[in-house]
Structure 1
């Protein structure tokens, strides 16, 4: 009998989901960006007012119905451009300001290619629910033009009867806005648009190290030793030529800190943070050599090096490599670590390992057979035969699993925790 019970819901790519992003002339001709930008501004300023007003009206007629607060976005973009160019806005008319902002923006379909590799945490707001239900936040890797990955979100409710109700996708999506940074530690702060919901919000790359994507956020609800709660996730920042692991931190899902980490361990993908300190130290699971899993320890959330080998491929379905599938889940029996293995024909499958609660370097048991692999109707997509998750959630005595299919879409399943534990040896 299958351990995981699949649900019918799917989250699929949707080219109609668009946001407004800054249009950077420097992408078109490096070294000429300033002069081209200044010339573009001069061209708009050279219009007579009637022509400028007509041009703005045409833009708004074309795009206003597709975006939230579009005039505010154009006005903000105008201010950014004039600050970058060191120009004085002076007595420029409002239509020309908005039109200049429009010329330096473009529409981007952030999930045209894929939605995949989800993680899940409890929502900060649990009001209005019965004691057996939980409101959730899903993080999603959205992939658009140029294979640029961003972080999107979806809210929902998991019921006691292993049911899932997803919040409908809003008609508009908005980019998180750069609020601060980078500072001396290369941290940047981005904020959700004040009039948007979390399910409307998309976090895009904002630093050179992230330029080609924010990939595979592994989100967890972290409880600090003083009892305070913070939502922390690790993700892979991809510059186009190099990768490194970074942190996303938030207290309210309105303001987000994107923070690089230091140390030899962060030059790898797929780090997953334990949801609390263990024996006074922060712990992570990572794959430092591309094949095996290591336990990492640190006194500082932002500094990670070394590591102790705890898991190597053992069974045929994971001979190529194993990796973590998100932050460990605390149970009475130990830390439940979901894993993925890669076998023949590069087929991915999910398994599980149980780590000692007080000494996570000690492996108590693991599954000899996969718990979940792509069913026949799930195999096709951008990368066939892949099932992958960046984090599951314990809901009472069940495990709620959102998972990516073929690097293309997201599916959902439930399993009884006791059944998973019983399969381990």
Structure 2
């Protein structure tokens, strides 16, 4: 499909401050790229985690602070490879607060040259964004995992993308009785053997590719999930778009509403030009009243934010 003919749902307004986070030439660990940022609100302050690439081309996870969600200070390297299962990089953090802890899932790279078998998920748990505990999570090719910001029934629930690098990718739900199950090889062996039972089917065509974007937002209407929808992934030119689904509050395997075309694609210069051109990838979201602030990575180089009304968005979903 011709990129110029993609029809979008034009309800998101890009911030005039975009791109809101750029590489910092003074910091060797983040002088090439700072993208795919995910916010976590902590009172009046926002912690903003993002993927950073520096002089050594190894991805690590940075942390910055903000009072308004657009200007950042106190940038520092927060997570970097420490164990063999993440030896070659920590990518694309997704953070959710549940109880008194923040659960940060990220892509962990254990092999180089990169191949699907060495691309899995890691978890860091923190209460203060200073100290943390790390865990290896999945034992199969997977990326893009996020915890729901509230229990469903008595269970913790996560959404993740399996087979991201050995497609077709599959977005699925995982239910945990205890936090320990999140990192249990036995749990994940059973989950992966039955992956199709856990799957949310949101692709519209066989040539399309999907990946979890921002951690789910809880609204009174349902769980709102922004995700990456790549049209014509297997028959380029591909188009990276941002889309959304609304899931039932009590049974997130039920899709209530969905978008039928992209909410946002790469149109501005900062979205079209960079380390990897024409990528706009959803990575985090904040809901304040009726206002959604959607954070997304642009051209695998920087972070941006766009806003819209929750009610207006839901009106346009079918």
Q: Common fold, TM-score beyond 0.5? A: yes
- Whether the 8 Å CA contact 2:15–2:304 is kept in 1: the answer is yes
Give the Å deviation of 1:292: 2.8
Match of 1:296 in 2: 174
Identify which of 103, 108, 113 aligns with 1:232.
Answer: 103
Indicate if the aligned counterparts of 2:85 and 2:136 stay in contact, CA closer than 8 A.
no
SS across alignment from 1:286: strand
Q: How far did 1:352 drift?
A: 0.3
Equivalent position to 2:280, from 374, 387, 392: 387
Equivalent pair of 1:292/1:313 in contact (CA under 8 Å): no
Alignment length (residue pairs): 282
Q: Secondary structure at the match of 2:256?
A: strand
Higher helix proportion:
1
Shift of 1:15: 2.2
Alpha-carbon distance in 2 for matches of 1:348, 1:207: 32
The 8 Å contact of residues 81 and 88 in structure 2, kept in 1 or not, is answered as: yes
CA distance in structure 2 between the partners assigned to 1:200 and 1:14 by the alignment = 11
The 1:365/1:319 distance shift into structure 2, 3 A limit, reads farther
Q: CA RMSD in A?
A: 1.9
How far does residue 420 in structure 1 lie from its aligned partner after superposition? 1.4
Please name the residue that 1:320 is paired with.
Answer: 208
For residues 183 and 155 of structure 2, the distance between their equivalents in structure 1, rounded to whole angstroms, comes to 12
What 5-or-longer segments of structure 1 have no aligned partner?
Answer: 18-108, 127-133, 159-163, 171-198, 224-228
- CA shift, 1:326, in A, is 2.3
Is 1:13 the counterpart of 2:23 in the alignment?
A: yes
Greater gyration radius: 1
Post-superposition Cα deviations, 1:12-65, rounded to whole Å, max 9, x if no partner, equal: 112211xxxxxxxxxxxxxxxxxxxxxxxxxxxxxxxxxxxxxxxxxxxxxxxx
Which structure dedicates a bigger proportion of its chain to strand? 2
Q: What corresponds to 1:336 in structure 2?
A: 224
Shift of 1:251: 0.8
Task: State how far apart, in whole Å, the 2-side matches of 1:292 and 1:210 are.
Answer: 22
In structure 2, the partner of 1:375 is 267
Give 2:39's aligned residue: 120
Matched, 1:152 2:65: no
CA distance in 2, matches of 1:208, 1:216: 18
Q: What's 1:167 paired with? A: 72
Q: Which has the higher contact order (CA 8 A, sep 6+)?
A: 2
Deviates more, 1:364-373 or 1:319-328: 319-328
Q: Distance in 1 between matches of 2:294 and 2:157?
A: 22
TM-fit CA distance, 1:201 = 4.0
Match of 1:218 among 94, 111, 117: 94
- Please give the TM-score of this superposition, normalised by the length of structure 2: 0.83
Residue of structure 2 in register with 1:408 after alignment: 301
In the alignment, is residue 363 of structure 1 matched against residue 255 of structure 2? yes
CA distance in 2, matches of 1:360, 1:244: 24
Distance (whole Å) between structure 1 residues aligned to residue 57 and residue 145 of structure 2: 22
| 2:158 is equivalent to residue 274 of structure 1 | no
- 2:283 is paired with a residue of what secondary structure? coil
Quote the residue 1:182 is aligned against.
none
8 Å CA contact 1:292, 1:312 repeated in 2: no
Query: How far has the Cα of 1:389 moved from its partner?
Result: 2.5
Tell whether 2:201 aligns with 1:311: yes
CA–CA separation in structure 2 for the residues paired with 1:252 and 1:350: 31
- Is the 2:29–2:77 Cα contact (8 Å) retained in structure 1? no
- Alpha-carbon separation, structure 2, partners of 1:142 and 1:165: 18
- Partners of 2:11 and 2:45 lie apart in 1 by 24
Structure 1 segments of 4+ aligned residues over 6 angstroms from their partners: none
**Matches of 2:15 and 2:63 in 1, distance apart?**
19
CA shift digits 1:174-202 (9 cap, x unpaired): xxxxxxxxxxxxxxxxxxxxxxxxx3343
**Gap runs ≥5 in structure 2:** 1-8, 113-117
Number of the residue aligned with 2:158: 284
1: CA distance between counterparts of 2:88 and 2:67? Answer: 32
